[in-house]
Amino acid sequence: MSKILIIDDEHSILETLEMFFSEKGHYVYKADTGEKGFKLYCRYKPDVVILDIRLPDYNGLDLLKRIQAHEPISKVIMVTAFQDMETTIESMKLGAYDYIHKPLDVDKVEKAVNRALHILEIDRETTLLAEMTKPPNPEVIIGRSDKMRNTFKMIGLLCQNRAPVLIQGETGTGKELIARVIHRNSLFDKEPFVTFDCAAVVESLLESELFGHEKGAFTGATYTKKGKIDLAGNGTLFLDEVGELPKRLQGKFLGFLQRHEHMRVGGHQILKTNCRIIAATNRNISAMVRQGLFREDLFFRLKVVTIQVPPLKDRLSDIPDLVNHFLQKINWELGTDVSNLQKGVLDSLAAHPWPGNVRELENILVEAVVRARSKVILIDEIEDILSANRHVANTGLSTYSLPHMEKEHIEKTLNLLKWNRTQTARRLGISLPTLRSKIEKYKIIPPDKAKF
């Protein structure tokens, strides 16, 4: 049951609309002058005002202004006898909710009123986010769950020394972000932060990328090249996907960790660097040690300090803060102003399984903001996006996604080479461990073992 105020000098209109909306169960107030209308407005604070633009004592636009200045709580629907573009634009600019023409069609008025009431209801159910006045800081870790608080404490301790750190966690949990924050808060934050992704480089190039090479070290080495270790200098070397480091290099890297000395490929000179090593992985390294895929001595050396980043589904209480943070960031970047959530959106988010963790949450919010047609993220929209994501997760991958094509390509090559993994890895230009992890990740099965 809602309150509707009708301000019009035509008595037949007042009577008709009053009868119509009272029958629908609303409270109706009516006024035949602007002055009376404004008094009723102040006294009853109606949900919807139907306001004639031509009144005997008032210009409707002025009354609209006065209402908005007084207390803009209602949705105001303007009524006029003229097809006048300028007054329409003007009244919309002044904050009118809608605009209808005379002669009044009761159906149209009802539709406009119902739309306005629906929006009011959504407005009341939403949570307004804090306003953003400066660009968001990309290097802040959001979270106040106990699990994340422990991580913060650990980061605080680590900032004061150069001990190696191993960050373990599922994809998208924020491992790289944590590494950057550790570096940014350390005593050597002015020194470089260098990233090296062990999975992104072909095995044959890994060694020279990491340790550097001298001119003439191998065919194609036409100049001396610094390795990532040299580039990190006295800063931080972030070794991403450390589980993919081939065994041969694991030994060489261990030597570097122990002595802080290394030699470039084809070089004779011993080079000294003092960079802090932060390694990250989404694989279970101790299981890899048991399977003989990872050197135990290197594992022990790396995991002196381990940060285990919990998956998002184990810290659902972080979701509201993360949503707030990401919406501010997204609005800033896209120039949008989507800052409200319909009630229930957070519950929907909490019910999602989050296989892609925080990165997935951010992506979902970007899509929701782009699709939003007002300042509000609606529960239906979020549900749509989430269920599309669940569908992709269930079927594995969407057909046109890069990972899907990668999976198909690997599968074809494996079948072509009769599942000879060494040859397949060589053909694909990736390392054997990378191939193994991709087989595992995409759950690729040899044809004789596949169930049909």
Ligand X SMILES: Nc1ncnc2c1ncn2[C@@H]1O[C@H](COP(=O)(O)OP(=O)(O)OP(=O)(O)O)[C@@H](O)[C@H]1O
Name the residues that contact ligand X, by CB under 6 A.
Answer: 141-143, 169, 171-177, 282, 325, 358-359, 362
Applying CB under 5 A, the site for Mg ion has a residue count of 1
User: Of Mg ion, ligand X, none, which one sits near residue 60, judging by CB under 5 to 8 A according to partner kind?
Assistant: none
User: Of Mg ion, ligand X, none, which one sits near residue 61, judging by CB under 5 to 8 A according to partner kind?
Assistant: none
Between the CA atoms of 260, 265, 266 and 272, what dihedral angle is there, to the nearest 10 degrees?
-20
Between 30 and 283, name the residue whose CB sits nearer to ligand X. 283
Q: Is residue 278 classed as helix, strand or coil in its secondary structure?
A: strand
170 binds Mg ion (CB under 5 A): no
Enumerate residues 6+ apart whose C-beta is below 8 A from 106.
16, 17, 20
- Rg, C-alpha atoms of the chain: 32
User: Of Mg ion, ligand X, none, which one sits near residue 94, judging by CB under 5 to 8 A according to partner kind?
Assistant: none
Separation CA 229–CA 281 (nearest Å):
19
**Closest distance of CB 196 from ligand X, Å:** 13
Partners of 97 in beta bridges: none
Between 37 and 143, name the residue whose CB sits nearer to ligand X. 143
Q: Is residue 32 classed as helix, strand or coil in its secondary structure?
A: coil
Query: Which has the closest alpha carbon to 316: 350, 354, 274, 281?
Result: 350
Half-sphere exposure of 232 (CA within 13 A, CB side): 27
Q: Judged by CB under 5 A, which of 10, 176, 191, 384 binds Mg ion? A: 176
**Closest distance of CB 282 from Mg ion, Å:** 8
User: Of ligand X, Mg ion, none, which one sits near residue 221, judging by CB under 5 to 8 A according to partner kind?
Assistant: none
Between 53 and 242, name the residue whose CB sits nearer to Mg ion. 242
CA distances from 47 to 4, 75, 121 (A): 6, 6, 10
User: Of Mg ion, ligand X, none, which one sits near residue 208, judging by CB under 5 to 8 A according to partner kind?
Assistant: none
Between 84 and 176, name the residue whose CB sits nearer to Mg ion. 176
User: Of ligand X, Mg ion, none, which one sits near residue 438, judging by CB under 5 to 8 A according to partner kind?
Assistant: none
**Closest distance of CB 431 from Mg ion, Å:** 18
- Lookup: tokens for 263: 């030699």
**Closest distance of CB 72 from ligand X, Å:** 35
Sign of CA dihedral 211, 217, 218, 222: positive
Between 4 and 199, name the residue whose CB sits nearer to ligand X. 199
User: Of ligand X, Mg ion, none, which one sits near residue 177, judging by CB under 5 to 8 A according to partner kind?
Assistant: ligand X
**Closest distance of CB 282 from ligand X, Å:** 5
Between 255 and 311, name the residue whose CB sits nearer to Mg ion. 311
Separation CA 155–CA 144 (nearest Å):
14
Kindly provide the residue ranges of all beta strands, DSSP E only, lying in 312-438, ordered along the sequence: 340-341, 376-377
Compute the C-alpha angle 17/23/28, nearest 5°. Answer: 50
Kindly provide the residue ranges of all beta strands, DSSP E only, lying in 282-436, ordered along the sequence: 305-308, 340-341, 376-377
Enumerate residues 6+ apart whose C-beta is below 8 A from 29.
3, 4, 5, 6, 40, 44, 46
Between 26 and 183, name the residue whose CB sits nearer to ligand X. 183
**Closest distance of CB 240 from Mg ion, Å:** 5
Question: Letter for the amino acid at 230?
Answer: D
**Closest distance of CB 342 from ligand X, Å:** 23
Between 299 and 326, name the residue whose CB sits nearer to ligand X. 326
Confirm if 413 and 427 have CB atoms less than 8 A apart: yes
* Region binding Mg ion by CB under 5 A among candidate stretches 72-80, 173-181, 285-293, 303-311: 173-181
- Lookup: tokens for 22: 């009272």
Residue 190 burial class via C-beta count within 10 angstroms: exposed 0-12, middle 13-18, buried 19 and up: exposed
Shortest-Cβ-distance residue relative to ligand X: 174
Site string for Mg ion, 313-352 (x = CB under 5 A): ----------------------------------------
User: Of Mg ion, ligand X, none, which one sits near residue 362, judging by CB under 5 to 8 A according to partner kind?
Assistant: ligand X
User: Of ligand X, Mg ion, none, which one sits near residue 142, judging by CB under 5 to 8 A according to partner kind?
Assistant: ligand X
Site string for Mg ion, 128-167 (x = CB under 5 A): ----------------------------------------
User: Of Mg ion, ligand X, none, which one sits near residue 169, judging by CB under 5 to 8 A according to partner kind?
Assistant: ligand X
Interstrand relation of 127-128 and 340-341 (parallel, antiparallel or unpaired): antiparallel
**Closest distance of CB 403 from ligand X, Å:** 12
Site residues for Mg ion per CB under 5 A: 176
